[in-house]
Amino acid sequence: MRITLSLLRQHLGRQIKAKWEEKKKRKIIDYGVPAALQNATIFDANEVAKIEWPKIDVPEVPKILPELKHPLWKEKPCAQFSTDLHLMEGETQVQVLTKTLKREGLPSCVTDRIGQIQLPNQDQLVEGSILHSHFYDSIQARKRRTLDPKRPYKLTSKMYGIRTERKNIHLSMSLIRLCASMAGKYPQIFNSTALYNSEVSFPITKDGDLLQFKGEATCVLLADDPLPVVTSDVTSTCNEKLPDMFPVKSTLDLPEVNVYSMEDRFVSPNNKLHPHLLMICNNAPARMFKDHQLTGSGIGTAFMFAASHARHLYGPDVKQLPAPVAVQCIIHDGRRFHFLYYQLNTLDLDGEDGVKNMVWVDATNPLYDSFQTLAQQPVLEGYNPRALDTILAMYSSPQQTL
């Protein structure tokens, strides 16, 4: 056979066979019995097993659950609501949980400003922010494996790319920077303060059950003046009824824990700053959170920030507020944007009678229709400019004269 490159090429199977032929011909070397063991006495194993050895009494260690050792462990459980909690009934459940009445559409103090604030090259800047967060990011990490929608009984294959958390945070920060760039035209924006990754904890009692609202906002915009309320006539809400969930209880799918603290945690270090706008990212897969569930998550988060601020202003034992507290909220999953204007009127959540809280909701505002990659190039389809117009209207203080 003529020696060629194909013949000289390494072949794993041929090498394994050659190694096997070499090793199977090796002879076992007899080294003999070591000299130290030649005169040793050999005992039968059965005789050794009959020897009675002295027993050592070891005290039994009581089985203690790890959480029982925790200094914050309490016997009475507490139901917890968090921003990323997937509620079965969505916004209806949160309305009953927080005693809130829903109004369709944003109030006039926001809608009158939509479209009146324009940035130079506004649409190009937003499209660039979307492309940067979804495509032009050099960090490639292993994505989380989720259920395959085509095969729900299996997980998706391992993939590397830009994680959903990073996409949403980059998009949120880019939109906040675009809103802050209009400070040259509206100097009042310089008086606001932005806090990032702010956590809030708000414990409360509802119908004898302990509740704890815990959430985190990607960005919280604080200002010196409080956000104006939509209506000061809060007694008119006494005649309206909350959604009916009978026979389902509002705390049905809230996880109960025994390790918790009943202390308030608020973002503002003093009484001089008031929360105006919350930017919240929902990093769960889009198919897991429907529109009404995403809205419910925003209502619950807006309630906990407004309620924490109310206690910060009026004391820890306040029930009926001397004056309502308002806060705006934007919650999104990278494509769907939901806008809320929440007005807190009371912290008395017992029963369904009396004064109730109010929320104005403008749901399901897609920033774009689809984003895909064709021939290694990003393609953005169906860009919606109204989403940024609403964000600009909510970002700018309603007290600013246009």
Following DSSP, what letter does each residue of 41-79 receive, concatenated?
A: PP--HHHHHT--PPP---PPPP---GGGGSTTEEEEEEE
125: left (phi over 0), alpha (psi -120 to 50) or beta: alpha
Q: What is the pTM of this model?
A: 0.78
* Average confidence (pLDDT) over 359-375: 88
Helix (H) / strand (E) element for 341: namely strand 336-346
Residue 398 pLDDT > 60: no
* Average confidence (pLDDT) over 344-364: 91
Reported as a pLDDT band with limits 50, 70 and 90, residue 287 is low
**Cα separation, 95 vs 89, whole angstroms:** 10
Contact 206, 97 (CB under 8 A): yes
DSSP3 helix / strand / coil % (the chain, rounded to 5): 30, 25, 45
71-107 pLDDT, tens digit each: 888 888 999 999 888 888 889 999 999 999 999 999 9
Residue 323's pLDDT is what?
A: 92
Buried (b) or exposed (e) across 271-293, using 16+ Cβ within 10 A?
eebbbbbbbbbbbbeeeebeebb
> What are the structure tokens assigned to 393, written together?
């209207």
* Average confidence (pLDDT) over 291-308: 92
Lowest mean pLDDT among 97-111, 205-219, 256-270, 354-368: 256-270
Residue 62's pLDDT is what?
A: 67
Residue 343 pLDDT > 90: yes
**Cα separation, 321 vs 149, whole angstroms:** 47
Contact 365, 384 (CB under 8 A): yes
Residue 173's pLDDT is what?
A: 92
Q: Where is pLDDT greater, at 74 or 139?
A: 74
* Average confidence (pLDDT) over 285-299: 84
Contacts of 265 (CB under 8 A, 6+ apart): 199, 200, 201, 202, 308
* Chain mean pLDDT for the chain: 85
Q: What is the DSSP letter of 5?
A: H
Helix (H) / strand (E) element for 110: namely helix 108-111
* Average confidence (pLDDT) over 382-399: 85
Other Cβ atoms within 10 Å of 103 Cβ, number: 13
Residue 263's pLDDT is what?
A: 84
Q: Return the SS3 of 336.
A: strand
Reported as a pLDDT band with limits 50, 70 and 90, residue 402 is very low
The count of C-alpha atoms lying within 13 angstroms of the C-alpha of 207, restricted to the half-sphere facing its C-beta, is: 11
Residue 280 pLDDT > 90: yes
121: left (phi over 0), alpha (psi -120 to 50) or beta: left
Residue 401 pLDDT > 50: no
Closest CA to 343 of 357, 329, 361: 357
Lowest mean pLDDT among 3-7, 66-70, 198-202, 207-211: 3-7
173-187 pLDDT, tens digit each: 999 999 888 877 777
Residue 222 pLDDT > 80: yes
* Average confidence (pLDDT) over 239-248: 87
Closest CA to 183 of 156, 225, 221, 145: 221
Concatenate the DSSP letters of all residues of 187-242 into one string: GGGGG-EEEEEEEEEEEEEETTEEEEEEEEEEEEEEESSPPPPS-S-GGGGGGS-P
Residue 1 pLDDT > 60: no
